[in-house]
Structure 1
């Protein structure tokens, strides 16, 4: 099922202006407008959030805007620069998010994210990361995902939520309640529809198509059909001359899986030759299939480390060919490396007595492209005595970290996500439990060791200023070993309420 993302940048011109000015940019509280010429009149063409809050809106006369607010910051509009900036933003999104990205002038991007969202935690995680990355550089953004460009575009601009995901097949029903202008129609057409009492997309859908076509021409029905999925709307991806790319054009369209796989190998061999000539390795590969019906299918794979291994790259790409629908045939195949890094070969050790470090990069690449890169990680020590904060997630192929776990007391092989409350019988202040009940099962303690006292980290929050935990390692009659703790030191009430919790299990 196709998944299209529309990224809407409501204040793109003013956000780009602030980024361009850098340290000289006005504060976010200062209203800023851009002024340009429209039909020989100087009007406001863009306004930031502070200006919009003062009811200074695009289309207002520049003299009127200055008269309403004396401290208004006024700058000249730069539509050419704004369009070029969107192209640059599209290239950034191409490298990070999806194999098919295009500028959606004048205020957004469109991405075909089919098969690419799993690398960012699913559809919702994909949109949240996209909006967060824009916000981190001072660009306000909203994003929507749907089956078609038309629905995603409409929801991104008419929903007030930062992110909006529409389940497959529901786009037509969701867009029906939106105003007619959501179909990307010319303003004069929207006004004419309003004079006829047609205000929403659903009302347009309910009218006879022949009558609409005679009165408004083919544009209205074409936009409606594109939105509900009756007509395809191709996305022409942004191209960057600096990206390494190999292209195969076929005299006759191909569609057989074995034929496609054979040409995948040829493209990978050619791309690896280019990578070797530049001393680079690929971190991301995009393979696009241009079909005869003007639709583009694409697959994307990520690599844990820079790679130019022909066998590995071909296998990872071929693993995803089953997700590609060749339709009536593929006439062009394009293999691109949107993300590359320098690749330096390490010398081979001559001392055969030293065990070689196994290379798990191939396994990591296979798993991350199947289940998503975010779901694959390894744990590393973190500087904290509090058990749930003493580890952090790092990339599977990351270099070893300098921190180590404490060796004074052993730690359980399994730590629960959240400590679970237990009922205990124990003597205060320093005695371990005699028995405890966990998940409805009562267990008698045969051996115990402790307490190990761990204090709260007061610099994180005030509630941990006096907090204390006393941890015990205990073993029950069946030989199972547990890690439990008591809140408080058993003497001062301020240190904890003396409740008991099970936090881990020993292997």
Structure 2
């Protein structure tokens, strides 16, 4: 990749194959093409690279640590002190970072050290050992080439001509002759890497929430006008989200009335989104709740929660079939807007012997890692809590023959059981002796129930109805 520097074109970046052939950033393109005939060179786009680097920095700011600084053209500094424990340790943070970047087809290396200069050197010249123990950065730098100090090409070449190729050799040189011949850069970079000189970093600010705003010369209030305004605002907002490389997870729409009062709507999405059609549909579900009063003179739309947006989620419209997961996410959002977010979920198994604890609510699109045992059928509906019933049995330890529930007398035609379930003694002492005997029964009318006795018949156990139907 080539870029214009002054009056000559130089290599701005090289891939691994070119690096193995001896090419490196900063080399003149003419020199590189002479050294490697047939070299493929593409033009660099520094402005687009700068925007992409800033977007990546904002993503790291949101996910990893509150202090992130840019190191153009291809680097970031992340202050992980106080944040690495959220991922287990520094190794866990590095693994999470590199894995997520690889999932987005971004090739990266990382380094963790006590100083920004040492971390820069480790990331680029010692990537197989990315985490340097506290206080170990000086030893880690000794055998690295002087290029690891971020020296200008001319300085690195001049040191090589003197036989100084490693940082360890440079530390043994007297500073005065070094400064006289190469200027202050080598000594300053060495001191910064070793922690003897301060290296100030300019950290990114938290980005302002993406926002779109319209002010009206004449108050509006008709429902169809509010719908058109909402779509117009969403078009502007989604363009801004795309520019930043993020998607909306929560959107607030505020209408300010002429009487000084405001009416607001909030919608949330289960996945980051910047598709106008989808977001319009969510807000359209709520627009009927807006009371315009004597008129609305201003509308503000703000994405109050955003996340990194995966390009694979982009809406291709009529050019491609919509991915199944994307369509399901939109359906979940629509249901959440109508019924309430907390009422849309899926059930997943949980490792528990007690039926009421063997089920948990999870995100509607979350994967399920476990499943219920196929040889333990369960009813389609559990009662919470179980309801007491009166039972008549042919013998103390026999299945029920007659059940009285909510004033109804249910004659049992078939029964299967018992299935004995013990309490979870590790939770509390009260459960140490808990025993339930479950029976699956079918009435003469064909109804199916799930009953249990909370103690053996000889101990006066009571009967309870716990489930209806059959899975």
TM-score, normalised with respect to structure 2: 0.51
Q: Among 463, 467, 470, which residue is 1:504 paired with? A: 467
CA 278–437 in structure 1, closer or farther in 2 if over 3 Å, else same:
same
**Given the superposition, is the C-alpha separation of residues 358 and 475 from structure 1 closer, same or farther in structure 2, using an over 3 Å criterion?**
farther
Correspondence for 1:479:
446
Give the whole-Å Cα distance in 1 for the aligned partners of 2:218 and 2:277: 27
Structure 2 residues not aligned, in runs of 5+: 1-205, 315-319
Partner of 1:305: 271
Match of 2:304 among 338, 354, 366: 338
Which position in structure 1 is the counterpart of 2:241?
275
Q: Which runs of 5+ in 1 are unaligned?
A: 1-239
1:448 has 2:411 as partner: no
Q: With CA pairs under 8 Å and 6+ residues apart, which has the higher RCO, 1 or 2?
A: 1
How much does 1:427 deviate? Answer: 5.1
> Structure 1 residues 437, 247: closer, same or farther in 2, change over 3 A?
same
Three-state SS of the structure 2 residue aligned to 1:360 is helix
- 1:313 and 1:363 map into 2 onto residues whose CA distance is 12
4+ aligned runs moved over 6 Å, structure 1: none
Q: Secondary structure at the match of 1:359?
A: helix
Distance in 1 (CA, whole Å) between partners of 2:325 and 2:334 is: 19
**1:396-415 → structure 2 map (5 Å cutoff):** 396-397=364-365, 399-415=366-382
Provide closer, same or farther for how the CA distance between residues 329 and 437 of structure 1 changes in structure 2, counting only shifts above 3 A.
closer
Among 447, 463, 470, the alignment partner of 2:437 is: 470
Q: Once the 2 structures are TM-superposed, how far is the Cα of residue 280 of structure 1 from its aligned partner? A: 1.2
Instruction: State how far apart, in whole Å, the 1-side matches of 2:265 and 2:417 are.
Output: 55
Q: What pairs with 1:23-422 in structure 2 (closer than 5 Å)?
A: 242-346=208-312, 359-397=327-365, 399-422=366-389
Aligned mates of 1:291, 1:434 — CA distance in 2 = 68
Two-structure CA RMSD over aligned residues (Å): 2.5
Within the alignment, does 1:461 sit opposite 2:461 as a pair?
no
Distance in 2 between residues matched to 1:279 and 1:501, nearest whole Å: 56
Contact 1:430 1:451 in 2 (8 A): no
Measure how far apart 1:447 and its partner are.
Answer: 1.5
- Cα displacement (A) at 1:368: 1.7
Aligned to 1:186: none
SS in 1 for 2:327: coil
Question: Relative to structure 1, is the Cα distance of residues 328 and 456 closer, same or farther in structure 2, using a 3 angstrom cutoff?
Answer: same
Deviations 1:400-427 (A, max 9, x none): 2212222222111111112111222225
Verify the 8 A CA contact 1:429 1:490 in the aligned structure 2. yes
Q: What is the aligned residue count?
A: 258
Q: d(CA) in 1 for partners of 2:469 and 2:326?
A: 28
2:406 paired residue among 439, 457, 462: 439
Structure 1: distance between partners of 2:268 and 2:418: 47
SS in 1 for 2:283: helix
Is the radius of gyration larger for structure 1 or structure 2? 2
Q: CA deviation at 1:356?
A: 5.0
Q: Which residue of 1 aligns with 2:187?
A: none
Distance in 1, Cα, partners of 2:433 & 2:268:
47
Provide the C-alpha distance between the structure 1 equivalents of 2:373 and 2:446, rounded to a whole number of angstroms. 25
SS where residue 243 of structure 2 aligns?
A: helix
